[in-house]
Amino acid sequence: MSRIRLPLLFCLGLALAGAPALAQERAAGVAPADDPDAVENAPAKVPLAEIQRFVSVFNAIRQAYVDPVEDRALMQSAIEGLLLDLDPHSAYLERADAEDFDEATRGAYDGIGVELVQLPDRTLKIVAPIDDTPAARAGLKPGDVIVAIDGKPIGPDNDLGSEPLRGPSGSKVVLTIRREGREAPFDVALVRETIRITSVRSRLLEPGYGYVRISTFQADTGADFARALDSLQERGRLRGLVIDLRSNPGGLLTTAVQVADELLERGGIVSTRGRVAVSDAEFRATPGDKLRGAPVVVLVDAGSASAAEVLAGALRDNGRARIVGSRTFGKGSVQTLLPLDNGDSVKLTTARYYTPNGISIQARGIEPDVVLRADPKARNGGRPDVTEAMLPRHLRGDGEGAAAHVPGEVLEGEAPIAEALAELKKLAAAADAPRRG
């Protein structure tokens, strides 16, 4: 999407409505810590000495800096500076970016259709182009870096953000792209359009074997997934289902929970834990499996992040699905969107996710049951340009740095689907065996 949505958003998706534990939804605020000994968390304990030091520096800049600086600009920089040394998913969002973040959950906006992460030099790295959008049709690829927009270079002294990518449907924008393997940056011209993200697509791979592709988790993804299953089952009994989550950057936690609930009769789905009680939550399945126990294979890769990892972890921990593909991205944190009185917002990491078995996926990802390898001819050999563990200042994960931890690969094309189908047929044959006996 034409916005900075860290993959994590839950851009994305992350991207909290009613409770900060529901990532990417808007919350009114964060309650103070319950621990009476946590003095640093108590609102009354303001660090006066540090504030006095801040005021001294503020006044020195106002009075002595070589060029005049507006008070508002100084204060804005100071507020943004509070977040600079936190994890890469915490950020100050100006009004336009906050509106973009909200639009991402609704699934419609005017732009080019690409998921982005902002690099330290302020350039914009493409996490993934969204299916059937101008960015995808123009051939933009994961790992491409946008270094200029309409001829204006992006850099520390010219932080354009993602806003110039947006604009009225039908208007043009020219991106200057730096791509690994090409000697010089090149221009790509695109025409903006209203991006109505179809997050769920489905088809039959063979009679009796269904396929559902979920490209992101937005507000209507849960309902669209249920309709897709109904449509597939109208064509006959499903012996099994492949759920394709490759390069799915995440989205709303609630919709990932809804999808998992459609396939589970009982059991936990995901839990969240933070420093304050309001960040703690547990989501459990309600009775009713739309596939009535038919086997499921979940296809993942190094681009499967956040809500996609929640779904994969929930189905595997409950023994409901076999995970096929490559190790996932490893974004296991919850972001809460805190609105400010001027229309801006703060996106703040407030909790970590845990699978039903109590496993944190942060900077670790989910290792598949059946490992697939990228095509040797794939760009960069299938190695991802970025994972959670590669991001500066990322939250440390359990067991991070272990020798056995190998980043996943990006799996493109139809070949991984064929391999997932082969695994699904094995599961279906095993499920049918008692009936034949």
Annotated active-site positions, please? 306, 317, 331
3-state secondary structure of 416: helix
User: CB neighbours of 303 closer than 8 A, spacing ≥ 6?
Assistant: 7, 127, 128, 142, 246, 247, 248, 249, 329, 384, 410
Q: What is the DSSP string of 84-103?
A: HTS-TT-EEE-HHHHHHHHH
The structure tokens listed for 340 are 């400010």
Dihedral angle sign, alpha carbons of residues 150, 154, 160, 161: positive
DSSP state of 155: B
Scan for tokens 């309709």, then name that residue.
227
Q: Whole-angstrom Cα distance, residue 77 to residue 425?
A: 57
Dihedral angle sign, alpha carbons of residues 408, 410, 416, 421: positive
DSSP state of 394: P
Which amino acid would we find at residue 212? V
Q: Whole-angstrom Cα distance, residue 357 to residue 367?
A: 14
> Parallel, antiparallel, or unpaired for β 124-129 and 114-118?
antiparallel
Chain Cα centroid distance, residue 161: 18
Q: 307-317 and 253-263 are packed helices; what angle lies between their axes, rounded to 10 degrees? A: 30
Specify whether the CB–CB gap between 20 and 351 falls below 8 A.
Answer: yes
Specify whether the CB–CB gap between 367 and 302 falls below 8 A.
Answer: no
User: CB neighbours of 235 closer than 8 A, spacing ≥ 6?
Assistant: 204
The structure tokens listed for 373 are 């390898």
